[in-house]
Amino acid sequence: MTTKNNQKSEDKETEEKQIKAYQDDYFSKGHWLRKIWQTLLVLFGWICVFIPIIVTVLSYLGVEYHLFKPIWTYREGIFEIKFIGILLLFLFVMALVFSVSMSLIQNRKRDRLVEQWPTFNPINQKRRTTELDKFMDKRFGPEEARKNARNYRVEPEQNLETHEIKKLFDAHDIDDL
């Protein structure tokens, strides 16, 4: 009886730890000050991201295309924007060339190696499957009963040893690996 109580208390403690690890007070009921503070902080962060981008784009368009009065007109800044644009375009092209070439290489390799012939002995594979099915039925019961069981408890003596399946294959001389 004590063991079951200990088991239940350990399960309850584990569940509480998992809830605490993945719980966010922002989305739970209450905590209005936290929600307001975090929302304002996030909005301020996004403003700090977008304002410089907007100022830079408007200034660039104003200097280059005279669409409106630019906020700043430093020639060095305009030169740097053009330089960064060319650099990013070059990096994009290089990434595109790399991705396409690697895809072509992998497709050719797959066509040559994988789709030619199975990399295993299909006769031994069928024998391995049959022997493994017999072994599992003997150890854990019929397959249909295992599949239809809602909960299945494995007894300690039913656990598999480290190399037990390899030994099974070796005993029947069907180990190609």
Give the whole-angstrom CA distance, residue 48 versus residue 34: 21
pLDDT for the residue 22: 73
Contact 128, 165 (CB under 8 A): no
pLDDT for the residue 134: 93
pLDDT for the residue 125: 86
Of 59, 90, 51, give the one whose Cα is nearest residue 76: 59
Give the whole-angstrom CA distance, residue 132 versus residue 125: 10
End-to-end CA distance of the chain: 48
Tell me if the pTM is above 0.95.
no
Q: Which residues of 30-52 are buried (b: 16+ CB within 10 A; e: fewer)?
A: eeeeeeeeeeeeeeeeeeeeeee
pLDDT for the residue 115: 65
Q: In which element (H, E) is residue 64 found?
A: helix 32-65
Q: What is the pLDDT along the chain (177 residues), one digit of tens a residue?
A: 556 666 777 778 877 777 677 778 888 888 899 999 999 999 999 999 999 999 999 999 999 998 888 988 889 999 999 999 999 999 999 999 999 999 999 998 887 776 666 667 778 888 999 999 999 999 998 989 888 888 888 888 889 999 999 999 889 888 765
pLDDT for the residue 3: 63
